Amino acid sequence: MSMRVTFLGTSGAVPTTRRNPSAVFVNREGDRLLFDAGEGTQRQMMRFGTGFAVSDVFVSHLHGDHVLGIPGLVQTMDFNEREDPLTIHAPRGTGDDVNDLVHAAGNRPSFPVRVSEVAPGETVVRREEYEVRAFRTDHDARAVGYALVEDDRKGRFDRERAEELGVPVGPKFSKLHEGEPVELDDGTVVRPEQVVGDPRPGRRFVYTGDTRPSEQVVAAAEDADLLVHDATFASDRADRAADTAHSTAAQAGEIAQRAGAVRLALTHISSRYAGDVSAHLTEASETFDGEVFVPEDGETREIPYPDG
Ligand SMILES: [Zn+2]
Ligand SMILES: [Zn+2]
């Protein structure tokens, strides 16, 4: 099962020539999910080849740099004669504003667009092998982050052991792997726990949107395989980060460290660091032992399973 993350927009509130406002695209085995949609997101989707077949947009909060891409994206989907429904999830109390964005400039999409308000702690979307949960963040707006959490996978099937026990190769193998006991021709019963290992954890992708360092994020990002965290500033502007309800790279690193995350993407980079993000990388590496990177727009990462 592939899980591919494409960073469509990595700038802070003001875009630069290299960085578009916030948007992160996740393709999980063909399910296409968009986290925030800053202005120009539709062109980034074209440039970086993600396609428009998005089922859900997860809005972290209603600041313009996270949502002004919605009107254009919805209009283009309409021009493309989309018929599939689109669901836009947004923090409780912001549904009317999101609806206004969908209908901006008199736009009346001919495909169904559903706006769904979410509260922290809620499971927002439940699919066959994963869910997306909302969690509280700490910003100067009604704001949530989102965690895509895969279900545990079945344990490894020990083929050799099964053969030793006399299980014939074939349907009884799959039955055991599905968790059912099987009876052999001589009447012996082989139980699944004899040949199937412990369930293996799935992957976790966590997107904070804009936030100060927050205990809720530590909890939500526990064992995250990829944590995408606000790192608007480096430590030279720590005061400004606190005043504007954002985080520094070092703070994002601390959060990732305490959460036990595997890798950390620093994003929402202020335009003052347009040419140089070396301080971000250095400072986050001082507080976080895992892999840190500052994605460029268009950068794509395949997230591996925790056990390889
Ligand atoms: Zn922002
Ligand atoms: Zn904001």
State mean pLDDT over 15-23: 97
What is the pLDDT at residue 301?
98
Q: Annotated catalytic residue: which of 31, 36, 56, 65?
A: 65
Dist. CA 67 → ligand 1 center (Å): 9
| pLDDT > 70: percent of the chain | 100
Q: DSSP label at 20?
A: P
List 4's β-bridge partners, or say none.
Answer: 27, 302
What is the pLDDT at residue 308?
66
Distance CA 157, CA 155 (A): 6
Q: Catalytic site residue 65?
A: yes
Query: Do 88 and 102 form a contact (C-beta atoms < 8 A)?
Result: yes
What is the pLDDT at residue 98?
98
pLDDT, tens digit, for every residue of 253-306? 999 999 999 999 999 999 999 889 999 999 999 999 999 999 999 999 999 999
Q: DSSP label at 196?
A: B
State mean pLDDT over 4-17: 97
State mean pLDDT over 197-208: 96
pLDDT, tens digit, for every residue of 204-218? 999 999 999 999 999
Sheet containing 113-118: order of strands: 113-118, 86-91, 56-58, 31-35, 23-28, 3-9, 300-302
Q: Is 241 left (phi over 0), alpha (psi -120 to 50) or beta?
A: alpha
Alpha helices in 120-235 (DSSP H): 159-164, 171-177, 192-195, 215-220
pLDDT, tens digit, for every residue of 71-126? 999 999 999 999 999 999 999 999 999 999 999 999 999 999 999 999 999 999 99
Dist. CA 268 → ligand 1 center (Å): 7
Distance CA 103, CA 259 (A): 39
Beta-sheet strands, E only, within 97-155: 113-118, 123-126, 130-136, 144-150
Dist. CA 264 → ligand 2 center (Å): 20
Confidence of residue 307 (pLDDT cuts 50, 70, 90): confident
Residue 171 has pLDDT above 70, yes or no: yes
What is the pLDDT at residue 194?
95
Would you call 296 exposed, middle or buried from its count of C-beta atoms within 10 A (0-12, 13-18, 19+)? exposed
Ligand at shortest distance from the CA of 10: 1
Ligand at shortest distance from the CA of 21: 1
Dist. CA 158 → ligand 1 center (Å): 49
Ligand at shortest distance from the CA of 13: 1
Dist. CA 24 → ligand 2 center (Å): 15
Residue 54 has pLDDT above 90, yes or no: yes
Q: What is the residue type of 274? A: A
- The alpha carbon of residue 25 and the mean position of all alpha carbons in its chain are separated, in whole angstroms, by 8
Average pLDDT, the chain: 97
